[in-house]
Amino acid sequence: MAAVNPYLTFNGNCEEAFNFYKSVFGGEFPDGIMRFSSAPSDMPALKEEGNLVMHVSLPIGNTVLMGSDISREHGKVSGDNISISLVADSEEEANKLFNGLSAGGNVTMPLAKTFWGAYFGMFTDKFGINWMVNYDYK
């Protein structure tokens, strides 16, 4: 089956965001951080973006979170129509992920036991990305 991997775009702070995500999830950037400045010389518009991130990836379980800074050529993309949903293996893991990723952000629904049999919460992180954390009681 095909894999679904979220790809996030940022307005100049992709590296900061991904270092923050790495501090919460752990792991490494397997391919490092590719910058617009490394674009071929026949792509001067991209090279002008300089040190901004062209691509970065962070494996998280069976998913790969990917991202880049948006180039001036493409403009800013609004991401408020999507949330990344994390499925935790325990309440403890849900707390760790929720507390780590929501630091400096805006909690819209604190983690709590729900009527549908889950431990669930929502927030927007300090980079404007919407997240949901869920642990299903079995």
3-state secondary structure the chain: CCCCCCEEEECCCHHHHHHHHHHHHCCCCCCCCEEHHHCCCCCHHHHCCCCCEEEEEEEECCEEEEEEECCCCCCCCCCCCCEEEEECCCHHHHHHHHHHHHCCCEEEEEEEECCCCEEEEEEECCCCCEEEEEEECC
Mean pLDDT (whole number) for 12-29? 96
Q: Return d(Cα 131, Cα 84) in angstroms, integer.
A: 5
Mean pLDDT (whole number) for 6-17? 92
User: Of the ranges 2-6, 27-31, 45-49, 118-122, which one carries the lowest mean pLDDT score?
Assistant: 45-49
Per-residue model confidence (pLDDT) at position 73: 62
Q: What is the pLDDT of residues 96-107, one digit of tens each?
A: 999 999 999 999
Do the beta carbons of residue 22 and residue 65 sit within 8 Å?
no
Do the beta carbons of residue 100 and residue 118 sit within 8 Å?
no
Mean pLDDT (whole number) for 6-29? 95
Per-residue model confidence (pLDDT) at position 81: 66
Domains by residue range for the chain, with CATH: 7-69 (3.30.720), 83-136 (3.10.180.10)
Mean pLDDT (whole number) for 120-136? 94
Per-residue model confidence (pLDDT) at position 70: 81
